[in-house]
Amino acid sequence: MNFDLVFKIAGIGILISVLNMVLKQAGKEEQAQLLTLGGVVVVLILVVQFIGQLFGLVKQVFNLY
Amino acid sequence: MEIVQIVGFGLIAAVLVVLLKNQRPEIAVLLSVAAGVIIFLLVATKIKAVVDVLGDLADHAQVNSFYLATVLKIVGVAYIAEFGAQVCRDAGESAIAAKVEFAAKVLVMVLSLPIIAAIMESIIRLIP
């Protein structure tokens, strides 16, 4: 099964938190915020597609609608 | 045995969520949602088999398939609502979780109205 999605998301999260620390050290606060926003948007896109797949499957299994 | 696979995956996901919890709580919530979805996808084929067997048994016993279909719909609605409510509660928003559960109860009540009507009719028919 595709476990790699969880590891992909964890990787993105760790990368962003590290990059945030680096940006904060370099004094670029607003870019750190933008980076956080970008990271959350990327992860949200991945997860929302996955949830759509889940709901489609639940509809199929329990033949809702 | 899939259970070993599932439990192992669940532990790894939990550790990753804790790792991300304090720096990036929003990504941690999304991570726990993704883990929940993966575990359901692993088990979905088995649930489908159980549902098919139930359908065959109902047909064999000449039970009206409408009732079984309604029960399955209610189970589906309940599962999705439970999934959403637990995710909201994990994220610390128990108010939203309560609203989701309330909406699910209303939907289940609406789904079960035809069955309630059928029961009432049969009861009224029994009383001489």
Q: How far is A25 from chain B (nearest CA, A)?
A: 16
Q: What mean pLDDT do residues B24-31 have? A: 91
How many CB atoms are closer than 10 A to CB B95? 10
Helix, strand, coil shares, percent, chain A, to 5: 85, 0, 15
By Cβ distance, the residue of A5, A13, A63 closest to B27 is A13
**pLDDT tier at B42, thresholds 50, 70, 90:** confident
Nearest Cα to B67, choosing from B112, B105, B107? B112
pLDDT per position as a tens digit, B59-103: 898 888 888 889 999 999 999 999 999 999 999 999 999 999 999
- Do B34 and A47 count as a contact with CB atoms less than 8 A apart? yes
Measured in angstroms, the CA of A28 and the nearest CA of chain B are apart by 18
Q: With 70 as the cut, is the pLDDT of residue A1 above it?
A: no
Assess contact for A20 and A35: CB atoms under 8 A: yes
Nearest to A9 among B23, B30, B80 (CB): B30
Q: How far apart are the first and last CA of chain B?
A: 57
On the question of pLDDT at B106 being above 70, the answer is yes
Q: A3 contacts in B (CB within 8 Å)?
A: 9, 38
* Token couple for A27: 């004094």
Q: What is the pLDDT of residues A3-53, one digit of tens each?
A: 888 999 999 999 999 999 999 999 888 999 999 999 999 999 999 998 998
**CA distance from start to end of chain A:** 27
